[in-house]
Amino acid sequence: MKAYVFPGQGAQYAGMGKDLFEKFPAARALFEKADEILGFRITDYMFDGTDEDLRQTRVTQPAIFLHSVILSVILGDQFKPDMVAGHSLGEFSALVAAKALSFEDGLILVSKRAQAMQKACEKSPSAMAAIIGLTDEKAEEILKGIDDVVVAANYNCPGQLVISGSISGVHTACELIKAAGARRALPLNVGGAFHSPLMEPARTDLASAIEHTVFCEPVCPVYQNVTAKPATDPVLIKENLNKQLTAPVLWSQSVTRMVNDGAKTFYELGPGTVLQGLIRKIAPTVTIEDIVL
Give the Å distances, CA to CA, from 45 to 6, 96, 120, 248, 250: 21, 22, 23, 29, 31
Per CATH, the number for 2-122+197-289 is 3.40.366.10
Strand-pairing partners, residue 266, are 3, 288
231/227 Cα distance (integer angstroms) = 9
Q: For the chain, what is the total number of helices (H) and then of strands (E)?
A: 13, 10
How many angstroms separate the CA atoms of 50 and 209, rounded? 31
Which 3 state secondary structure label does DSSP give 195? coil
Distance CA 100, CA 214 (A): 9
**Where along the chain do its domains lie?**
2-122+197-289, 125-187
At residue 247, the 3 state secondary structure works out as coil
3-state secondary structure of 57: helix
**Is 88 noted as a catalytic residue in this protein?**
yes
CATH number of 125-187: 3.30.70.250
Say if 2-122+197-289 and 125-187 have the same CATH topology: no
* pLDDT tens-place values along the chain, 293 residues long: 999 999 998 899 999 999 999 999 999 999 999 999 999 999 999 999 999 888 888 899 999 999 999 999 999 999 999 999 999 999 999 999 999 999 999 999 999 999 999 999 888 889 999 999 999 999 999 999 999 999 999 999 999 999 999 999 999 999 999 999 999 999 998 878 999 999 999 999 999 999 999 999 999 999 999 999 999 999 999 999 999 999 999 999 999 999 999 999 999 999 999 999 999 999 999 999 998 88
Looking at 67, 87, 166, 195, which residue is catalytic? 195
Is residue 87 annotated as part of the catalytic site, yes or no?
Answer: no
Strand order across the 184-187 sheet: 150-157, 160-166, 126-132, 184-187
Catalytic residue among 88, 164, 166, 254: 88
Contact 188, 285 (CB under 8 A): no
